[in-house]
Amino acid sequence: MSGLKIKLSGKIAVVAGMVATLPVILAIPAAFALQVKVNPSRPKLGDTLSVFINLDNPKTDSNPKVTVGNKTYPAFEIAPNQYRAFIPTTPLEKPGTRTIQVTGDGQVRNLAVWVRDRNFPVQRITLPPKAAGVKATEYELKRVAEFKALQTPKKYWQGIFLRPNAGRITTVYGVRRYYNGKFAKDYYHRGIDYAGPQGSPVVAPAAGRVALVGKVSQGFRVHGNVVGIDHGQGVTSIFMHLSRIDVKEGDIVRPGQVIGAVGSTGASTGPHLHWGLYVNGQSVDPVPWRYQEYK
């Protein structure tokens, strides 16, 4: 968060981390009790919105509620009386205004946020008429869906995310596709591809708990050998097409720890790492997470 925050409670004013005793000379309206701020202030499609909520004197033990349309996003306490909820945005959404409704301590705030459009690269793919694509198994889909739905209260990550492989980026987040001239309206590239060579290390970009280990032999036909890390509070990372897996479910990993190696298992045409970052179940652009800290 940026900017000067003044919190008044009794005779103590806290200004930018400095504590000073000041006489209260102004009447502070009671409406100050619920404050809301959204980062970034000018988001674009694919960005993760952070909604910061300050409750001056919480009268209840329940966390504030954040809703957009018919979706509710969990808010977690990140400092005394301060809460944060993440709202994912994706290339499948329309740009424009979102109304974010925050409810806390019996008060309601509505914030309008403008989400800007963004030009995602487009690929044109030609497939032979009867191309038999690889189909995911029911088991694979169920395990991956359960993983992406995690909203673990514990926050494991801290600071910026590391790049998970040293290879160059071959496909960025959000690429859209035409198949045989027809726009695939539900498709977008849900992650970043790194062209690390076969067997090169894949590291955890941030701390977390290994919540998914799937193998081709178990039916992970599309993902291939896959690792999913739960970073907590609705943030998860998935690593696909691995040649080797070095962790097991339940392991706690630290940033930079090797979790496996690049491969070409599953639906893959050559060795590469696919890293997908999910926020409350939706694939968001990992790039901002690489360069700024999400508190």
| Contact footprint for Zn ion (CB under 5 A) | 193, 274
Q: From the CB of 277, what's the least distance to Zn ion, in Å?
A: 12
Nearer to Zn ion, 231 or 274 (CB): 274
Residue 169: helix, strand or coil by DSSP?
Answer: strand
Nearer to Zn ion, 209 or 274 (CB): 274
Beta partners for residue 38, in sequence order: 51
Q: From the CB of 75, what's the least distance to Zn ion, in Å?
A: 31
Q: From the CB of 32, what's the least distance to Zn ion, in Å?
A: 46
Ranked by CB distance to Zn ion, the top (closest) residue is 274
Q: From the CB of 180, what's the least distance to Zn ion, in Å?
A: 21
Q: From the CB of 214, what's the least distance to Zn ion, in Å?
A: 16
Nearer to Zn ion, 56 or 179 (CB): 179
Nearer to Zn ion, 193 or 230 (CB): 193
Q: How far apart are CA 81 and CA 8, in angstroms?
A: 13
Q: How far apart are CA 250 and CA 39, in angstroms?
A: 32
Q: How far apart are CA 214 and CA 207, in angstroms?
A: 20
Which residue in 60, 1, 59, 62 sits closest to 30, CA to CA? 59
**For residue 157, which amino acid is it?**
W
Residue 165 CA: distances (Å) to CA of 30, 188, 213? 51, 22, 18
Q: From the CB of 190, what's the least distance to Zn ion, in Å?
A: 7
Nearer to Zn ion, 193 or 285 (CB): 193
- What is the Cα 30 distance to its own chain's centre? 34
Q: Which residues of 30-62 are buried (b: 16+ CB within 10 A; e: fewer)?
A: eeebbbbbbbeeebbbbbbbbbbbbbeebeeee
Nearer to Zn ion, 16 or 127 (CB): 127
